[in-house]
Amino acid sequence: MVEAIVAPATTAKHGAKCLDGTPPAYAIRRGQGPNASRFIIFLEGGGWCFSVAECAGRRHGGLGSSKGYQPGNAASDKGGVMSFNSTINPDFYTYTMVFVHYCDGSSFSSYRPDPIKLQGGEDMWMRGKANLDAILDELSTLHGLASANEVVLSGGSAGGLAVYYHIDYVAAFVRESAPDVRVSGFPDAGYFADLPSVEGEFVYRGFFQTADSTCWNTTLSGQ
C-alpha cells in the first residue's frame, strides 16, 4: 500500500481537515488483473471524542492528525479483509484496497463550518464528513473509483459505525459515474446497540447526543 495525503486542491474544495487542521489521508494498493476495478474501502476505527476537551486531547496524535502520513512511503499489510495474503483473505486480496485514515473523532460524520477556539487561541476543526468527501473525490479522479464495477465499504469499531452512517451516501456517490456498480456494506465490529447499562442508564445515547450538540454537529443541530 502507498500512503497519500489528499491533494491541496481537493482538500480546499471540500474544506477537509483533521482535528488539528492537517489534510485527510489514506493508503491505497492497486488491485490485480480484472479485480483492479473492484474496491474495498476500509474506514479506520479508533473510538470517539465526545466533548471539546476529549477532541482537543487527541488533536495532535495519530487519531487527530495526518502528520504521521508520508506520501509515497510503503504501508504495511493491514490484515483481515485488507490482507494481501490469499489464504487469509481469499475473497478480497486482489481487490484495490483503500485504508482511510481516521482523524476526526466522529466516525467521519462531523461538520462545523467554523473552528472551535481552544484555550491559547488554537483552532480545532470538526470536518469528518468533508474528509470522507475529499477522499472519495480523489479516489474517483486519480484511482479509478469512477469506473469501479464493485465497491465494498468496510471498517472496524468507529469505522464500522461509519459504514452504517455512510453506506447509502457512498453508494449514491459512486453511482453518479458508474450507475451499474455493485455497492455493499461490510462493517467489522461497529454495531453499538442503544441499550441500557446494568444501572438502567442509556450511557452511549447521552454521549452521542452531547457530542453532536457541543462539537460534532453531525445532524447540523448547530446551524
DSSP 149: S
Answer positive or negative: Cα dihedral of 29, 167, 180, 134.
Answer: negative
Q: Is residue 101, in this structure, part of any structural domain at all?
A: yes
Residue 40 falls inside a structural domain: yes
Mean pLDDT of 91-112: 96
pLDDT of residue 72: 67
pLDDT at position 193: 85
pLDDT at 208: 92
4: nearest Cα among 133, 129, 143: 143
Q: How many CA atoms lie within 13 A of 3 on its CB side?
A: 16
Per-residue confidence at 76, pLDDT binned at 50, 70, 90?
confident
Residue 197 domain-assigned (yes or no):
no
pLDDT in tens, 206-217: 999 999 989 999
Residue 162 maps to a domain: yes
Residue with grid cell 473492484, as numbered in its chain: 38
Instruction: Give residue-wise pLDDT tens across range 177-211.
Output: 999 999 999 998 878 888 998 999 998 899 999 99
Bridge partner list, 99: 27, 42
CA distances from residue 107 to 4, 53, 72, 137, 211 in whole angstroms, order as listed:
20, 17, 26, 18, 12
Question: Is 198 part of any domain?
Answer: no
The answer for residues whose C-beta is within 8 angstroms of residue 172's C-beta and 6 or more apart is: none
Domain count of the fold of the chain: 1
pLDDT score of 32? 87
Residue ranges making up the domain that contains 164:
2-192
Asked whether residue 93 is domain-assigned, the answer is yes
Distance CA(28)–CA(4), nearest Å, equals 8
Residue with the three cell numbers 452511549: 204
pTM, 2 dp: 0.94
pLDDT at res. 223: 54
On whether residue 212 sits in a domain, the answer given is no
The answer to whether residue 163 sits within a structural domain is yes
Q: How confident is the model at residue 131 (pLDDT cuts 50, 70, 90)?
A: very high
